[in-house]
């Protein structure tokens, strides 16, 4: 019985991982575009081209990315983006 329980728990864990990967693949291209735009906004800020408006835009884009990651149930990535958002 103990072995069966472990296998069942592993299967549930695998299903959750697969579900998260599926959900992420649905929003993946839009998410990558949002992160790329946040990166460009941060570069504009650092290079002195966008000032505080560029920094605000980067923060907004990171917030959008965090929301998408949370909806896709990729909480580790969402936490990382949240930390990036707070740092910007």
pLDDT tens, position by position, 55-78: 999 999 999 999 988 887 788 888
Question: For residue 1, is pLDDT > 50?
Answer: no
49 contact partners, CB below 8 Å, separation of at least 6: none
51 contact partners, CB below 8 Å, separation of at least 6: 45
Instruction: Write down how long the chain is.
Output: 88
Q: How far apart are CA 21 and CA 79, in angstroms?
A: 17
Q: How far apart are CA 88 and CA 81, in angstroms?
A: 11
pLDDT of residue 36: 96
DSSP SS3 for 1: coil
Q: Which of the two residues, 10 and 39, has the higher pLDDT score?
A: 39
């Amino acid at each position: 019985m103990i072995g069966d329980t472990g296998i069942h728990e592993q299967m549930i864990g695998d299903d959750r991982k697969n579900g998260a990967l599926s959900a992420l693949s649905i929003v993946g291209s839009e998410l990558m575009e949002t992160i790329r735009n946040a990166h460009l906004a941060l570069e504009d800020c650092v290079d002195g081209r966008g000032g505080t408006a560029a920094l605000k835009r980067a923060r907004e884009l990171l917030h959008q990315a965090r929301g998408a990651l949370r909806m896709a149930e990729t909480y580790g990535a969402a936490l990382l983006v949240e930390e990036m958002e707070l740092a910007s």
